[in-house]
Amino acid sequence: MTIIKLHNTKTRRKEVFTPLNPDNVRMYVCGPTVYDRAHLGNARPVVVFDMLYRLLRHVHGADHVTYVRNFTDVDDKINAKAAQTGRSIGDITAETIRWYLDDMGALGALEPDHMPRATAYIGAMIAMIEDLIAKGHAYAAGGHVLFAVDSYSRYGALSGRTVEDMIAGARVEVAPYKRNPMDFVLWKPSTDDLPGWDSPWGRGRPGWHIECSAMAQELLGASFDIHGGGIDLAFPHHENEIAQSCCAHPEGGFATVWMHNEMLLVEGKKMSKSLGNFFTVRDLLDQGIPGEVIRYVFLMTHYRKPMDWTADKAAQAQKTLENWRSVTRDLHPTPLSQFAPDPALVAALANDLNTHSALARVNELRTKPQKLLDNARFLGFLSDGYRQATSVQGIETTGNTAMPESSDMLSSLAQKLNDLRAVAMQSKDFADVDRLKAALLDAGIEVRMSKDGVELVPGPGFDPAKLEGL
RNA sequence: GGCGGGUUGGCGGAGAGGUUACGCAGCGGAUUGCAAAUCCGUGUAGACCGGUUCGAUUCCGGUACCCGCCUCCA
Protein backbone atom coordinates (compact mmCIF):
# COMPACT_ATOMS: atom_id res chain seq x y z
CA MET A 1 0.00 0.00 0.00
CA THR A 2 1.11 3.53 -0.73
CA ILE A 3 2.51 5.32 2.29
CA ILE A 4 1.05 8.80 2.52
CA LYS A 5 2.97 11.51 4.33
CA LEU A 6 1.22 14.71 5.33
CA HIS A 7 2.41 17.85 7.05
CA ASN A 8 0.55 18.20 10.33
CA THR A 9 0.15 21.76 11.57
CA LYS A 10 -0.33 20.38 15.08
CA THR A 11 3.18 18.91 15.20
CA ARG A 12 4.72 21.11 12.48
CA ARG A 13 6.17 18.04 10.91
CA LYS A 14 5.60 15.78 7.97
CA GLU A 15 4.22 12.51 9.33
CA VAL A 16 3.21 9.15 7.97
CA PHE A 17 -0.56 9.18 7.69
CA THR A 18 -2.23 6.32 9.54
CA PRO A 19 -6.03 6.37 9.43
CA LEU A 20 -7.88 5.69 12.65
CA ASN A 21 -10.01 3.29 10.64
CA PRO A 22 -8.70 2.34 7.17
CA ASP A 23 -12.22 1.29 6.19
CA ASN A 24 -13.45 4.82 6.75
CA VAL A 25 -10.91 7.59 6.32
CA ARG A 26 -12.57 10.79 7.49
CA MET A 27 -11.80 14.34 6.42
CA TYR A 28 -13.46 17.64 7.31
CA VAL A 29 -12.73 20.85 5.42
CA CYS A 30 -14.09 24.25 6.34
CA GLY A 31 -16.36 25.45 3.58
CA PRO A 32 -17.57 28.88 2.55
CA THR A 33 -19.85 31.39 4.14
CA VAL A 34 -22.48 31.66 1.46
CA TYR A 35 -23.16 35.33 0.94
CA ASP A 36 -21.46 35.95 -2.41
CA ARG A 37 -19.58 34.35 -5.30
CA ALA A 38 -16.46 32.49 -4.23
CA HIS A 39 -13.36 34.54 -4.85
CA LEU A 40 -10.18 33.02 -6.16
CA GLY A 41 -8.72 32.57 -2.68
CA ASN A 42 -11.75 30.55 -1.63
CA ALA A 43 -11.02 28.12 -4.43
CA ARG A 44 -7.53 27.16 -3.36
CA PRO A 45 -8.42 24.89 -0.44
CA VAL A 46 -11.15 23.35 -2.57
CA VAL A 47 -8.64 22.28 -5.21
CA VAL A 48 -5.97 21.29 -2.68
CA PHE A 49 -8.26 19.07 -0.65
CA ASP A 50 -9.84 17.72 -3.79
CA MET A 51 -6.41 16.35 -4.66
CA LEU A 52 -6.10 14.83 -1.19
CA TYR A 53 -9.58 13.34 -1.54
CA ARG A 54 -8.60 11.78 -4.87
CA LEU A 55 -5.41 10.39 -3.38
CA LEU A 56 -7.20 8.92 -0.35
CA ARG A 57 -9.83 7.35 -2.55
CA HIS A 58 -7.13 5.80 -4.68
CA VAL A 59 -5.14 4.43 -1.75
CA HIS A 60 -7.98 3.35 0.54
CA GLY A 61 -10.76 2.80 -1.98
CA ALA A 62 -13.46 5.20 -3.07
CA ASP A 63 -15.96 3.65 -0.69
CA HIS A 64 -13.66 4.00 2.29
CA VAL A 65 -13.29 7.77 2.43
CA THR A 66 -15.75 10.24 3.90
CA TYR A 67 -15.24 13.87 2.98
CA VAL A 68 -17.30 16.56 4.68
CA ARG A 69 -17.31 20.22 3.68
CA ASN A 70 -19.82 22.52 5.29
CA PHE A 71 -21.78 25.54 4.16
CA THR A 72 -21.99 28.37 6.66
CA ASP A 73 -25.45 29.68 5.96
CA VAL A 74 -25.94 31.69 9.12
CA ASP A 75 -23.62 34.65 9.48
CA ASP A 76 -23.72 38.40 9.90
CA LYS A 77 -22.40 38.97 6.38
CA ILE A 78 -25.41 37.10 5.04
CA ASN A 79 -27.70 39.13 7.28
CA ALA A 80 -26.11 42.32 6.04
CA LYS A 81 -26.58 41.28 2.44
CA ALA A 82 -30.23 40.47 3.06
CA ALA A 83 -30.82 43.83 4.72
CA GLN A 84 -29.02 45.59 1.93
CA THR A 85 -30.78 43.88 -0.97
CA GLY A 86 -34.17 43.23 0.59
CA ARG A 87 -33.95 39.58 -0.39
CA SER A 88 -34.63 36.72 1.95
CA ILE A 89 -31.74 34.96 3.61
CA GLY A 90 -32.85 31.56 2.33
CA ASP A 91 -32.94 32.94 -1.17
CA ILE A 92 -29.42 34.33 -0.93
CA THR A 93 -27.88 31.23 0.60
CA ALA A 94 -29.59 28.85 -1.83
CA GLU A 95 -28.42 30.85 -4.81
CA THR A 96 -24.89 31.23 -3.47
CA ILE A 97 -24.60 27.51 -2.77
CA ARG A 98 -25.64 26.77 -6.33
CA TRP A 99 -23.06 29.22 -7.66
CA TYR A 100 -20.41 27.72 -5.45
CA LEU A 101 -21.01 24.17 -6.62
CA ASP A 102 -21.07 25.30 -10.24
CA ASP A 103 -17.85 27.26 -9.93
CA MET A 104 -15.95 24.59 -7.99
CA GLY A 105 -17.20 21.98 -10.41
CA ALA A 106 -15.70 24.03 -13.21
CA LEU A 107 -12.37 23.72 -11.41
CA GLY A 108 -12.63 19.95 -11.60
CA ALA A 109 -13.35 19.48 -7.90
CA LEU A 110 -15.32 16.41 -6.91
CA GLU A 111 -18.21 17.07 -4.58
CA PRO A 112 -17.67 15.92 -0.98
CA ASP A 113 -19.72 13.04 0.41
CA HIS A 114 -21.50 15.41 2.80
CA MET A 115 -22.11 19.13 2.45
CA PRO A 116 -24.01 20.00 5.61
CA ARG A 117 -25.59 23.39 6.09
CA ALA A 118 -25.08 24.96 9.50
CA THR A 119 -28.77 25.82 9.90
CA ALA A 120 -29.63 22.13 9.73
CA TYR A 121 -27.51 21.48 12.84
CA ILE A 122 -28.67 24.20 15.23
CA GLY A 123 -30.08 21.56 17.58
CA ALA A 124 -26.75 19.77 17.75
CA MET A 125 -24.99 23.07 18.42
CA ILE A 126 -27.34 23.95 21.27
CA ALA A 127 -26.84 20.51 22.76
CA MET A 128 -23.08 20.89 22.56
CA ILE A 129 -23.20 24.31 24.18
CA GLU A 130 -25.36 22.99 27.01
CA ASP A 131 -22.87 20.20 27.49
CA LEU A 132 -19.98 22.67 27.62
CA ILE A 133 -21.78 24.74 30.25
CA ALA A 134 -22.50 21.62 32.28
CA LYS A 135 -18.86 20.63 32.17
CA GLY A 136 -17.74 24.07 33.28
CA HIS A 137 -16.17 25.14 29.99
CA ALA A 138 -18.74 27.77 29.08
CA TYR A 139 -20.96 30.34 30.76
CA ALA A 140 -23.94 32.46 29.91
CA ALA A 141 -23.50 36.19 30.34
CA GLY A 142 -25.19 39.26 28.97
CA GLY A 143 -27.47 37.20 26.72
CA HIS A 144 -24.43 35.47 25.24
CA VAL A 145 -22.84 32.14 25.91
CA LEU A 146 -19.07 32.23 25.98
CA PHE A 147 -16.38 29.62 25.96
CA ALA A 148 -13.99 30.01 28.90
CA VAL A 149 -10.52 29.66 27.47
CA ASP A 150 -9.05 29.37 30.96
CA SER A 151 -10.92 26.08 31.37
CA TYR A 152 -8.90 24.42 28.62
CA SER A 153 -5.20 24.24 29.32
CA ARG A 154 -4.25 23.35 25.77
CA TYR A 155 -5.88 26.44 24.27
CA GLY A 156 -3.46 27.88 21.68
CA ALA A 157 -1.54 24.65 21.10
CA LEU A 158 -2.41 24.35 17.42
CA SER A 159 -1.32 27.84 16.44
CA GLY A 160 1.60 27.92 18.87
CA ARG A 161 0.51 30.71 21.15
CA THR A 162 -0.62 31.17 24.68
CA VAL A 163 -3.50 33.11 26.12
CA GLU A 164 -0.99 35.40 27.84
CA ASP A 165 0.80 36.18 24.56
CA MET A 166 -2.39 37.06 22.83
CA ILE A 167 -3.68 39.30 25.56
CA ALA A 168 -0.36 41.10 25.41
CA GLY A 169 -1.14 41.80 21.78
CA ALA A 170 -4.37 43.33 23.08
CA ARG A 171 -6.24 43.02 19.84
CA VAL A 172 -9.23 41.30 21.30
CA GLU A 173 -12.77 42.50 21.42
CA VAL A 174 -13.43 44.16 24.73
CA ALA A 175 -16.71 43.04 26.22
CA PRO A 176 -17.60 43.58 29.85
CA TYR A 177 -19.34 40.22 30.15
CA LYS A 178 -16.20 38.25 29.24
CA ARG A 179 -14.35 36.60 32.10
CA ASN A 180 -11.21 36.48 29.99
CA PRO A 181 -10.78 38.81 27.01
CA MET A 182 -9.95 35.77 24.85
CA ASP A 183 -13.26 34.05 25.60
CA PHE A 184 -15.24 33.63 22.41
CA VAL A 185 -18.91 33.49 21.58
CA LEU A 186 -20.78 30.20 21.32
CA TRP A 187 -24.25 31.74 21.16
CA LYS A 188 -25.46 35.28 20.75
CA PRO A 189 -28.86 36.93 21.00
CA SER A 190 -30.82 37.87 17.89
CA THR A 191 -33.11 40.84 17.52
CA ASP A 192 -36.45 40.25 15.82
CA ASP A 193 -35.16 41.28 12.41
CA LEU A 194 -32.33 38.72 12.51
CA PRO A 195 -32.50 34.98 12.07
CA GLY A 196 -32.79 33.24 15.40
CA TRP A 197 -33.62 29.98 17.11
CA ASP A 198 -35.15 29.34 20.50
CA SER A 199 -32.60 28.21 23.03
CA PRO A 200 -32.18 27.94 26.79
CA TRP A 201 -30.58 31.41 26.56
CA GLY A 202 -33.40 33.01 24.61
CA ARG A 203 -33.85 33.51 20.91
CA GLY A 204 -30.48 33.72 19.24
CA ARG A 205 -27.97 32.33 16.76
CA PRO A 206 -24.74 30.40 17.00
CA GLY A 207 -21.26 31.88 17.05
CA TRP A 208 -19.14 31.05 14.06
CA HIS A 209 -16.94 28.29 15.43
CA ILE A 210 -19.47 25.98 17.06
CA GLU A 211 -21.03 24.84 13.78
CA CYS A 212 -17.92 22.99 12.62
CA SER A 213 -17.52 21.28 15.98
CA ALA A 214 -21.15 20.17 15.95
CA MET A 215 -21.24 19.01 12.34
CA ALA A 216 -17.92 17.19 12.56
CA GLN A 217 -19.19 15.41 15.67
CA GLU A 218 -22.48 14.45 13.99
CA LEU A 219 -21.02 13.30 10.70
CA LEU A 220 -17.55 12.03 11.60
CA GLY A 221 -17.56 11.39 15.35
CA ALA A 222 -15.43 12.57 18.24
CA SER A 223 -12.22 11.45 16.54
CA PHE A 224 -11.45 11.62 12.87
CA ASP A 225 -8.44 11.81 10.61
CA ILE A 226 -7.96 15.09 8.80
CA HIS A 227 -9.18 18.61 9.27
CA GLY A 228 -8.30 21.15 6.64
CA GLY A 229 -8.66 24.75 5.62
CA GLY A 230 -6.75 27.93 4.87
CA ILE A 231 -3.88 28.88 7.17
CA ASP A 232 -5.75 31.99 8.22
CA LEU A 233 -8.28 29.72 9.89
CA ALA A 234 -5.71 28.13 12.18
CA PHE A 235 -6.35 30.94 14.58
CA PRO A 236 -8.88 31.57 15.88
CA HIS A 237 -11.32 29.32 14.08
CA HIS A 238 -9.58 25.98 14.35
CA GLU A 239 -8.17 26.71 17.76
CA ASN A 240 -11.69 27.36 18.96
CA GLU A 241 -13.06 24.27 17.29
CA ILE A 242 -10.49 22.18 19.11
CA ALA A 243 -11.33 23.78 22.43
CA GLN A 244 -15.06 23.20 21.96
CA SER A 245 -14.83 19.67 20.64
CA CYS A 246 -12.17 18.37 22.99
CA CYS A 247 -13.95 19.82 26.03
CA ALA A 248 -17.35 18.55 24.97
CA HIS A 249 -15.96 15.14 23.99
CA PRO A 250 -12.86 14.48 26.06
CA GLU A 251 -13.13 10.84 25.04
CA GLY A 252 -12.20 11.81 21.47
CA GLY A 253 -9.14 13.42 19.95
CA PHE A 254 -11.02 15.51 17.37
CA ALA A 255 -8.81 15.71 14.25
CA THR A 256 -5.55 13.77 14.19
CA VAL A 257 -3.98 15.69 11.33
CA TRP A 258 -4.45 19.40 10.69
CA MET A 259 -3.66 20.64 7.22
CA HIS A 260 -3.56 24.26 6.15
CA ASN A 261 -3.01 25.73 2.73
CA GLU A 262 -1.11 29.00 2.39
CA MET A 263 -2.69 32.14 1.07
CA LEU A 264 -3.14 33.38 -2.44
CA LEU A 265 -1.56 36.46 -3.95
CA VAL A 266 -2.47 38.22 -7.16
CA GLU A 267 0.46 39.55 -9.17
CA GLY A 268 2.53 39.48 -6.00
CA LYS A 269 0.07 41.30 -3.80
CA LYS A 270 -2.61 40.22 -1.41
CA MET A 271 -5.96 40.11 -3.14
CA SER A 272 -8.09 42.93 -1.84
CA LYS A 273 -10.92 45.07 -3.07
CA SER A 274 -8.99 48.26 -2.37
CA LEU A 275 -6.07 47.21 -4.58
CA GLY A 276 -8.46 46.45 -7.40
CA ASN A 277 -7.08 42.94 -7.83
CA PHE A 278 -10.05 41.22 -6.28
CA PHE A 279 -11.97 38.80 -8.44
CA THR A 280 -14.11 35.72 -8.26
CA VAL A 281 -13.72 32.36 -9.93
CA ARG A 282 -16.72 33.25 -12.04
CA ASP A 283 -15.01 36.44 -13.23
CA LEU A 284 -12.15 34.35 -14.62
CA LEU A 285 -14.45 31.77 -16.18
CA ASP A 286 -16.42 34.53 -17.83
CA GLN A 287 -13.19 35.94 -19.24
CA GLY A 288 -12.80 32.65 -21.05
CA ILE A 289 -10.18 31.13 -18.79
CA PRO A 290 -11.15 27.46 -18.50
CA GLY A 291 -11.58 26.09 -15.00
CA GLU A 292 -8.89 23.52 -15.68
CA VAL A 293 -6.40 26.31 -16.33
CA ILE A 294 -7.19 27.75 -12.91
CA ARG A 295 -6.81 24.29 -11.43
CA TYR A 296 -3.44 23.83 -13.13
CA VAL A 297 -2.15 27.18 -11.89
CA PHE A 298 -3.18 26.28 -8.34
CA LEU A 299 -1.47 22.90 -8.48
CA MET A 300 1.75 24.34 -9.90
CA THR A 301 2.56 25.59 -6.42
CA HIS A 302 2.82 23.43 -3.32
CA TYR A 303 -0.16 24.01 -1.06
CA ARG A 304 1.97 25.13 1.89
CA LYS A 305 3.53 27.97 -0.05
CA PRO A 306 1.91 31.26 -0.97
CA MET A 307 0.55 31.01 -4.48
CA ASP A 308 0.80 33.94 -6.80
CA TRP A 309 -1.92 34.18 -9.43
CA THR A 310 -0.51 35.92 -12.52
CA ALA A 311 -1.76 36.29 -16.04
CA ASP A 312 1.55 34.89 -17.17
CA LYS A 313 1.07 31.64 -15.27
CA ALA A 314 -2.46 31.30 -16.56
CA ALA A 315 -1.15 31.61 -20.11
CA GLN A 316 1.52 29.02 -19.44
CA ALA A 317 -1.00 26.63 -17.90
CA GLN A 318 -3.34 27.12 -20.81
CA LYS A 319 -0.60 26.32 -23.25
CA THR A 320 0.31 23.12 -21.43
CA LEU A 321 -3.28 21.96 -21.21
CA GLU A 322 -3.82 22.66 -24.88
CA ASN A 323 -0.81 20.57 -25.60
CA TRP A 324 -2.20 17.71 -23.50
CA ARG A 325 -5.54 18.02 -25.19
CA SER A 326 -3.96 18.09 -28.60
CA VAL A 327 -1.85 15.01 -27.96
CA THR A 328 -4.84 13.05 -26.63
CA ARG A 329 -7.50 14.38 -28.94
CA ASP A 330 -8.35 11.11 -30.65
CA LEU A 331 -8.02 8.87 -27.63
CA HIS A 332 -10.66 7.52 -25.29
CA PRO A 333 -10.17 7.35 -21.52
CA THR A 334 -9.43 3.93 -20.10
CA PRO A 335 -12.33 2.67 -17.97
CA LEU A 336 -11.62 3.30 -14.30
CA SER A 337 -11.79 -0.40 -13.53
CA GLN A 338 -8.81 -0.99 -15.81
CA PHE A 339 -6.78 2.05 -14.87
CA ALA A 340 -3.94 2.31 -12.40
CA PRO A 341 -2.33 5.72 -11.97
CA ASP A 342 1.34 6.15 -12.70
CA PRO A 343 3.37 5.06 -9.63
CA ALA A 344 5.69 8.08 -9.74
CA LEU A 345 2.69 10.36 -9.86
CA VAL A 346 1.06 8.67 -6.88
CA ALA A 347 4.35 8.81 -5.01
CA ALA A 348 4.54 12.56 -5.63
CA LEU A 349 1.03 13.10 -4.28
CA ALA A 350 1.66 10.81 -1.34
CA ASN A 351 4.60 13.00 -0.39
CA ASP A 352 2.54 15.71 1.28
CA LEU A 353 0.64 16.46 -1.92
CA ASN A 354 3.53 17.42 -4.14
CA THR A 355 1.21 18.40 -6.95
CA HIS A 356 3.93 20.23 -8.80
CA SER A 357 5.93 17.04 -9.18
CA ALA A 358 2.78 15.18 -10.14
CA LEU A 359 2.16 17.64 -12.96
CA ALA A 360 5.79 17.35 -14.04
CA ARG A 361 5.28 13.58 -14.18
CA VAL A 362 2.23 13.95 -16.40
CA ASN A 363 4.29 16.14 -18.70
CA GLU A 364 6.83 13.36 -18.98
CA LEU A 365 4.06 11.08 -20.20
CA ARG A 366 3.57 13.12 -23.35
CA THR A 367 5.27 10.44 -25.36
CA LYS A 368 2.63 7.98 -24.11
CA PRO A 369 -0.60 9.80 -24.90
CA GLN A 370 -2.94 7.20 -23.46
CA LYS A 371 -1.13 7.31 -20.13
CA LEU A 372 -1.09 11.07 -20.31
CA LEU A 373 -4.84 11.16 -20.80
CA ASP A 374 -5.67 8.71 -18.04
CA ASN A 375 -3.29 10.19 -15.49
CA ALA A 376 -4.28 13.74 -16.28
CA ARG A 377 -7.89 12.73 -15.69
CA PHE A 378 -6.87 11.12 -12.42
CA LEU A 379 -5.65 14.57 -11.36
CA GLY A 380 -8.89 16.16 -12.48
CA PHE A 381 -7.75 17.41 -15.89
CA LEU A 382 -8.88 16.66 -19.44
CA SER A 383 -12.41 16.05 -18.27
CA ASP A 384 -15.03 15.32 -20.88
CA GLY A 385 -16.36 18.82 -20.44
CA TYR A 386 -12.99 20.44 -21.01
CA ARG A 387 -12.15 18.28 -24.00
CA GLN A 388 -15.50 19.02 -25.59
CA ALA A 389 -15.51 22.70 -24.80
CA THR A 390 -12.23 23.05 -26.61
CA SER A 391 -13.08 20.89 -29.59
CA VAL A 392 -15.13 21.69 -32.65
CA GLN A 393 -18.08 19.67 -31.49
CA GLY A 394 -18.12 21.52 -28.22
CA ILE A 395 -18.29 24.96 -29.73
CA GLU A 396 -21.95 24.48 -30.38
CA THR A 397 -22.63 23.50 -26.78
CA THR A 398 -21.13 26.65 -25.33
CA GLY A 399 -24.19 28.47 -26.55
CA ASN A 400 -22.89 31.87 -27.52
CA THR A 401 -21.78 30.97 -31.01
CA ALA A 402 -24.03 28.14 -32.05
CA MET A 403 -22.65 26.62 -35.22
CA PRO A 404 -23.73 23.02 -35.53
CA GLU A 405 -22.20 22.82 -38.97
CA SER A 406 -18.77 24.13 -37.97
CA SER A 407 -17.33 20.65 -37.87
CA ASP A 408 -18.45 19.92 -41.43
CA MET A 409 -17.34 23.36 -42.42
CA LEU A 410 -13.85 22.78 -41.04
CA SER A 411 -13.42 19.49 -42.82
CA SER A 412 -14.50 20.99 -46.13
CA LEU A 413 -12.14 23.91 -45.58
CA ALA A 414 -9.37 21.46 -44.79
CA GLN A 415 -10.12 19.67 -48.04
CA LYS A 416 -10.11 22.94 -49.93
CA LEU A 417 -6.79 23.98 -48.44
CA ASN A 418 -5.36 20.59 -49.22
CA ASP A 419 -6.48 20.82 -52.85
CA LEU A 420 -5.09 24.33 -53.27
CA ARG A 421 -1.83 23.19 -51.81
CA ALA A 422 -1.58 20.22 -54.13
CA VAL A 423 -1.99 22.54 -57.07
CA ALA A 424 0.49 25.02 -55.66
CA MET A 425 3.06 22.30 -55.18
CA GLN A 426 3.04 21.89 -58.93
CA SER A 427 2.76 25.52 -59.95
CA LYS A 428 5.05 26.83 -57.18
CA ASP A 429 2.57 29.67 -56.74
CA PHE A 430 1.43 29.61 -53.12
CA ALA A 431 -0.48 32.89 -53.04
CA ASP A 432 -3.95 31.28 -52.82
CA VAL A 433 -2.80 28.79 -50.22
CA ASP A 434 -1.30 31.49 -48.05
CA ARG A 435 -4.39 33.64 -48.35
CA LEU A 436 -6.69 30.88 -47.12
CA LYS A 437 -4.26 29.90 -44.42
CA ALA A 438 -4.02 33.45 -43.15
CA ALA A 439 -7.82 33.68 -42.98
CA LEU A 440 -8.01 30.44 -41.04
CA LEU A 441 -5.33 31.59 -38.62
CA ASP A 442 -7.23 34.82 -38.17
CA ALA A 443 -10.32 32.83 -37.21
CA GLY A 444 -8.35 31.21 -34.41
CA ILE A 445 -7.65 27.93 -36.12
CA GLU A 446 -4.40 26.07 -35.90
CA VAL A 447 -3.31 24.95 -39.36
CA ARG A 448 -1.22 21.81 -39.53
CA MET A 449 0.14 20.87 -42.90
CA SER A 450 2.20 17.79 -43.37
CA LYS A 451 2.99 15.33 -46.09
CA ASP A 452 -0.11 13.41 -45.05
CA GLY A 453 -2.47 16.32 -45.58
CA VAL A 454 -4.05 19.25 -43.82
CA GLU A 455 -5.48 19.33 -40.33
CA LEU A 456 -7.50 22.18 -38.89
CA VAL A 457 -7.74 22.44 -35.15
CA PRO A 458 -9.78 25.22 -33.56
CA GLY A 459 -7.84 26.99 -30.83
CA PRO A 460 -9.12 28.88 -27.78
CA GLY A 461 -9.80 32.02 -29.80
CA PHE A 462 -11.79 30.22 -32.47
CA ASP A 463 -14.41 32.47 -34.00
CA PRO A 464 -16.71 30.56 -36.36
CA ALA A 465 -18.17 33.81 -37.66
CA LYS A 466 -14.86 34.53 -39.39
CA LEU A 467 -15.23 31.39 -41.48
CA GLU A 468 -18.18 32.91 -43.32
CA GLY A 469 -17.49 33.18 -46.99
CA LEU A 470 -14.27 31.20 -47.03
C1' G B 1 5.10 43.43 20.52
C1' G B 2 3.82 37.81 19.98
C1' C B 3 3.40 33.51 16.49
C1' G B 4 4.37 31.36 11.69
C1' G B 5 6.16 31.06 6.54
C1' G B 6 9.39 32.47 2.59
C1' U B 7 14.08 34.14 -0.31
C1' U B 8 16.57 28.70 -6.19
C1' G B 9 18.64 30.11 -13.15
C1' G B 10 15.16 35.25 -17.96
C1' C B 11 10.19 33.43 -15.67
C1' G B 12 7.40 29.67 -12.88
C1' G B 13 8.82 25.97 -9.54
C1' A B 14 10.56 20.85 -7.13
C1' G B 15 13.57 17.11 -5.05
C1' A B 16 18.07 15.49 -3.01
C1' G B 17 24.30 16.38 1.82
C1' G B 18 28.13 14.64 -3.34
C1' U B 19 25.31 12.55 -9.60
C1' U B 20 20.23 16.15 -15.57
C1' A B 21 14.74 18.33 -11.96
C1' C B 22 10.67 19.57 -14.85
C1' G B 23 7.83 23.27 -17.61
C1' C B 24 7.79 28.10 -20.21
C1' A B 25 10.81 31.54 -22.76
C1' G B 26 15.75 31.85 -25.45
C1' C B 27 19.40 29.66 -28.69
C1' G B 28 21.00 25.64 -32.35
C1' G B 29 19.25 21.59 -35.38
C1' A B 30 15.63 18.03 -37.86
C1' U B 31 11.09 18.46 -40.43
C1' U B 32 8.10 22.14 -43.61
C1' G B 33 6.78 25.44 -50.28
C1' C B 34 6.77 29.13 -45.83
C1' A B 35 4.75 28.23 -41.20
C1' A B 36 2.38 25.73 -37.19
C1' A B 37 2.68 21.37 -34.49
C1' U B 38 6.21 17.69 -33.28
C1' C B 39 11.13 15.74 -32.26
C1' C B 40 16.53 16.27 -30.88
C1' G B 41 20.28 19.23 -28.55
C1' U B 42 21.76 23.45 -25.37
C1' G B 43 23.26 27.86 -21.67
C1' U B 44 22.07 30.48 -17.25
C1' A B 45 20.84 29.02 -10.19
C1' G B 46 20.36 28.64 -5.07
C1' A B 47 19.53 36.48 -0.66
C1' C B 48 23.92 37.61 2.63
C1' C B 49 27.50 36.15 6.67
C1' G B 50 29.32 32.35 9.66
C1' G B 51 29.36 27.07 11.51
C1' U B 52 29.19 21.50 11.02
C1' U B 53 31.32 18.26 7.02
C1' C B 54 36.15 15.31 2.95
C1' G B 55 32.02 17.99 0.51
C1' A B 56 26.00 22.24 1.42
C1' U B 57 21.82 25.29 -2.62
C1' U B 58 20.26 20.99 0.75
C1' C B 59 21.80 20.54 8.12
C1' C B 60 22.73 24.49 12.28
C1' G B 61 23.17 29.79 13.84
C1' G B 62 22.91 34.92 12.63
C1' U B 63 21.75 39.24 9.22
C1' A B 64 18.78 41.53 5.51
C1' C B 65 14.44 41.74 2.84
C1' C B 66 9.38 39.91 1.77
C1' C B 67 4.72 37.77 3.34
C1' G B 68 0.76 35.86 6.50
C1' C B 69 -1.79 35.48 11.27
C1' C B 70 -2.80 37.84 16.10
C1' U B 71 -9.85 41.60 14.05
C1' C B 72 -14.43 39.04 9.53
C1' C B 73 -11.48 36.19 6.08
C1' A B 74 -9.72 30.13 2.37
* CA A451/CA A29 separation, integer angstroms: 54
- Cβ contact A35:A78 at 8 Å: yes
Distance A116 CA to B39 C1' (A): 52
Return the bridge partners of A189, or none: A204
What is the residue type of A127?
A
Nearest residue, CA→C1' of B14: A357
Provide the mean pLDDT of chain A.
86
**Which nucleotide is nearest to A366 if distance is taken from CA to C1'?**
B38
Q: What are phi and psi of A383, to 5 degrees?
A: -65, 165
Write out the DSSP string of A347-367.
Answer: HHHHBT--HHHHHHHHHHGGG
Closest CA to A444 of A399, A406, A400, A404: A406
Distance A52 CA to B45 C1' (A): 32
Distance A131 CA to B23 C1' (A): 55
What is the residue type of A271?
M
ipTM: 0.85
**Which nucleotide is nearest to A230 if distance is taken from CA to C1'?**
B74
Q: What is the mean pLDDT of residues A180-203?
A: 91
Which of A36-45, A76-85, A162-171, A334-343 is least confident?
A: A162-171
Closest CA to A313 of A282, A284, A350: A284
**Which nucleotide is nearest to A270 if distance is taken from CA to C1'?**
B67
* CA A31/CA A212 separation, integer angstroms: 9
Which pLDDT band holds residue A98 (cuts at 50, 70, 90)?
very high
Instruction: Give tens-digit pLDDT for A374-412.
Output: 999 999 998 887 776 654 433 333 333 333 445 677 778
